[in-house]
């Protein structure tokens, strides 16, 4: 599983974790958030982008992303559930890598591209229940910047 860092290029997931740890150890007393979000964009096929964001609250952060293409997505529901599944898959692998560091108990937020307005409102209960049932905090629009801003930036 490879990710792209805008500043460091292509990295393995273990290299991403090492970079996150180095970033957090620059200011160990600062509060941090670990955010995972996925967004997608449809053209000839569907481009899914999953972002890992480490946010030093109040002073910036770093992010890493990966793209995955699918040729067939049959509905908005299928698309949203695929986005959520990619985020949960990524956080599981990320937590496995973090288990080898001093940051294994970091709180993680999953940001999903659904909200109270628009066609996705009917999916909120299911998606929120799925993510919370998996043991993670969840943010939806307009508070889901990991999906709606960072991941979205790299879908086009």
- Under 8 Å between Cβ of 29 and 3: no
Q: Give the pLDDT score at 74.
A: 86
3 state SS for the chain: CEEEECCCEEEEHHHHHHHHHHHHHHCCCCCEEEEEEEEEEECCCEEEEEEEEEEECCCEEEEEEEEEEECCCCCHHHHHHHHHHHHHHHHHHHHHHHCCCCCCCCCEEEECCCCCCCHHHHHHHHHHHHHHHCCCEEECCCCCHHHHHHHHHCCC
Residue by residue, pLDDT tens for the chain (156 residues) are 899 999 999 999 999 999 999 999 999 999 999 999 999 999 889 999 999 999 999 999 999 999 999 998 889 999 999 999 999 999 999 999 999 998 988 889 999 999 999 999 999 999 999 999 999 999 999 999 999 999 999 998
pLDDT of residue 43: 84
Nearest 5°: phi and psi at 5? -100, 130
* Predicted confidence (pLDDT) per residue in 66-83, tens digit: 999 999 888 999 999 999
Beta 108-111 vs 2-5: how paired, if at all?
unpaired
Q: What is the dihedral of CA 65, 154, 123, 134, to 10 degrees?
A: 0
pLDDT given for residue 156 in this prediction: 86
């Amino acid at each position: 599983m490879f990710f792209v860092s805008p500043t460091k290029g292509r990295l393995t997931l273990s290299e991403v974790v090492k970079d996150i740890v180095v970033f957090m150890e620059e200011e160990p007393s600062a509060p941090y958030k670990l955010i995972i979000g996925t967004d997608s964009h449809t053209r000839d096929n569907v481009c899914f982008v999953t972002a890992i964001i480490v946010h030093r609250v109040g002073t910036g952060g770093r992010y890493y992303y990966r793209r995955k293409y699918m040729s067939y997505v049959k509905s908005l529901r299928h698309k949203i559930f695929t986005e959520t599944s990619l985020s949960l898959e990524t956080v599981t692998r990320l937590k496995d890598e973090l288990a080898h560091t001093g940051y294994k108990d970091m709180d993680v937020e999953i940001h999903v591209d659904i909200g109270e307005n628009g066609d996705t409102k009917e999916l909120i209960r299911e998606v929120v229940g799925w993510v919370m049932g998996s043991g993670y905090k969840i943010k939806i629009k307009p508070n889901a910047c990991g999906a709606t801003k960072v991941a979205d930036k790299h879908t086009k």
